[in-house]
Amino acid sequence: MKSYDKVPKLTAQQKKHIESLASLPDAAIDTSDIPEWTAKDFASAVRLHSLYKPRKQQITTNIDADVLLWLKNSGTLYQRRLNAILRAAMINDLQSGGQKETRRSKAKPAKTV
């Protein structure tokens, strides 16, 4: 069951109220209880991208033994370090005009002779 399945359905009265609010022009909305943001407020705001947490996907892959040893010797959370290294490479590639898609490539495999 998804979390939105637990949300109760809106009544006809609630739907009517929402429609009436949505039809109000911006000038008719009372914002007097909302303080104006200052430059200091904007400077201390949390950037949205800092809240982004990508979905993890477990994989099985082969890594050269010396590379794995190097990662493990760098500290305990070597899998996070590996992910950070790959993410930095991905961002660099995307910023330099490299691969445009982040999903599986649609290229056809090379024919073997």
Q: Backbone phi, then psi, for 102, in 5-degree steps? A: -100, -10
CA distance 36 to 34: 7
pTM: 0.45
Per residue in 14-64, pLDDT (tens digit) is 999 999 999 999 899 888 899 889 999 989 888 777 777 888 899 999 999
Q: Are 90 and 84 in contact (CB under 8 A)?
A: no
Q: Backbone phi, then psi, for 75, in 5-degree steps? A: 140, 180
